[in-house]
Structure 1
Amino acid sequence: MPLFPGGGTTLDSVSVMDRPIRLTGPEGPWHRFAKAFREHGVAMVHARLADWVPEDLDDPGLALALGRDYARFRDMRHRPVRERFAASRSLLHWVAGQAMDAPPETVEIAYKPGGRPYLRGCDQIDISLSHTDELLLVGITRRGWIGVDAELSDRPMLSPGIERQVCTAYERAMLADVEEDDRNHEMVRLWTLKEAYSKAIGQGLRFRFNEFGFGPAGRPLQVLRPDGSPGTGDEWVLDSCTIDGRYTVSWALYDAGFGDTEDTRASTMLDPGLLEALMDGAGA
């Protein structure tokens, strides 16, 4: 995978992509999600951990709700870790189920090398998950690739050592021009953008973060080379926002040029044999 993939199509139809949609639990509200996914082929949601933690972590029904993730969940011993894992995977199942018009328990989540989640049997849809503190964040698209990331906005990240490891020379010069009180927040923004972009191209932390960068806040974003020259074009949509005044979240969306698959129902997209097996396993 090249560091600066391009050659997709210009994302005019999703240039209006707004901040992530708040979900208060399995009840949604889902109408805004459905509208965004229907009209633009991409949607992002955020939620509070407490709204998605199961009431009973020992409920045998979680085996159905979590699917392949249940074995991993069962082996976890620390309650906060179990809560976060169950909540984040539950949200992921519900978001994918809404996009595919399928019961959430029939959605099968698998993982690529490096831990990136994907929907088994449904390559037309790409998903991304991030969580920090009490925030859960999910992005989903049928247009290409997506990556999302979230951090506490006040996470201390300023130090010469970190800046050299994380930032390009262009970004270090840009940070030097930022007011001192705002500099750490700007560093967090750059970090989340790098994480989101790395997730979108499926590389995680395998690319050194000081080999690519981004420009200042408040301007249209694209991936930049270490000297500040453009590395990608309009086929990428990248942006950040602050949620609840506490969290900085960023997203990176790439249109791979495959066209928009408007019908993403599980009954249409999944192999019939796989769909039947999933429905039988869910007791449908």
Structure 2
Amino acid sequence: MSDLNTILWKVEKISDIILNVSLLSPSEKDQYDSFKIAKRKNEFLASRILAKKFISDSISCNFSDVEIKNDKDRKPYAVVNKKLLFYISLSHREEYVGVAFRGDMMPYIGIDIELFEKKNKEYLTDFMSSSELDNSDEEIIRIWAMKEAFLKMIGRGLSVSARDIEFNNDDILYKGEAKLLLSLFKICKINYEVINKDNYLVALCYNGG
């Protein structure tokens, strides 16, 4: 676990998590049952168990008191004892799952996990600018992870295009719907943290500071 300006996060291997469906609440179990592919079911189960365990350990409550739900934009949030509510962020990629939330309970937090692998630049043209794609494979993955973390932080799903956030060396340009939402939410400063873990990269995005 790390504490970055009240940002709490944890990433674990799925193989290190006890995947017990009985640890889910009834509504979580309904979501789990809605998935047809075994890999997707395991990712969902692992991310919920990790989140519930991490939250219960962090705020000193019972595991069974924590329930993970989604709002209308599919942004996950935690209900504790059926009344304490705060937003979280979840990510999964191959063998890892991750969770992040803010110690101050503010909603603007995003986490993304990416595997270091060669990306198809032609596919990425819908999501990245030509200048962003004119980078090394490692830097492209770093940019991609930060974009994903930002989109999770802003929490409006596919209504915001990844091209509305552009990374150019140390400069970050917000435009279109991303810029409008930052103004609407009165978000003036955005922080990014990027951490290497084995052959993976973890990106965090949060406001404040």
User: Aligning the two structures, in what range does the TM-score lie when normalised by the shorter sequence?
Assistant: 0.7 to 0.9
State which of 204, 207, 212 in structure 1 corresponds to 2:165.
212
Which residue in 2 is equivalent to 1:241? Answer: 195
The one of 113, 124, 130 equivalent to 1:162 is 124
Question: When the two structures are aligned, how many residues end up with a matched partner?
Answer: 195
1:115/1:225 CA distance change after superposition, 3 Å: closer
Shift of 1:196: 0.6
Return the letter of the residue paired with 1:140: F
Cα 1:225–1:78 change in 2 (3 A) is closer
The Cα of 1:77 is off from its aligned counterpart by 4.7
Identity among equivalent positions (%) equals 22
Please tell me whether residue 73 in structure 1 is matched to residue 32 in structure 2.
yes
Tell me which residue corresponds to 1:173: 131
Corresponding residue of 2:114: 151
TM-score when normalising by structure 2: 0.80
Q: Does the CA-based 8 Å contact 1:44-1:139 persist in structure 2?
A: yes
Match of 1:193 in 2: 146
Question: Which structure 1 segments of 5+ residues have no match?
Answer: 1-20, 22-32, 258-284
1:132 aligned residue = 93
Letter paired with 1:240: V
Tell me if structure 2 keeps the 8 A contact 1:130–1:137: yes
How far has the Cα of 1:100 moved from its partner? 2.3
The correspondence for 2:8, drawn from 43, 46, 60, is: 43
Return the letter of the residue paired with 1:87: A
**Superposition pairs of residues 20-99 of structure 1, within 5 angstroms:** 21=1, 36=3, 40-54=5-19, 57=20, 62-63=21-22, 65-67=23-25, 68-99=27-58
Deviations 1:55-83 (A, max 9, x none): xx5xxxx33x2112112224545433332
Q: If the length of structure 1 is used for normalisation, what is the TM-score?
A: 0.61
Alignment deviations for residues 221-267 of structure 1 (CA, whole Å, 9 cap, x no partner):
x64136xxx998873211223210x2122110113x9xxxxxxxxxx
Residue type at the aligned position of 1:86: L
Q: Which runs of 5+ in 2 are unaligned?
A: none
Amino acid at match of 1:252: C
Q: Following the alignment from structure 2 to structure 1, what is the Cα–Cα distance between the partners of residues 167 and 188?
A: 14
Assess, with a 3 A threshold, how the Cα gap between structure 1 residues 214 and 94 changes in structure 2: closer, same or farther.
same
Q: State whether residues 10 and 100 of structure 2, in contact with CA within 8 Å, keep that contact through their aligned partners in structure 1.
A: yes
Higher strand share: 2
* C-alpha contact 1:214 1:224 (8 A) present in aligned 2: yes
Shift of 1:174: 4.9
Q: Relative contact order: is structure 1 or structure 2 higher (C-alpha 8 Å, sep ≥ 6)? A: 1
Further displaced range: 141-150 or 193-202? 141-150
3-state DSSP class of the match of 2:174?
Answer: coil
Name which one, 1 or 2, has greater alpha-carbon Rg.
1
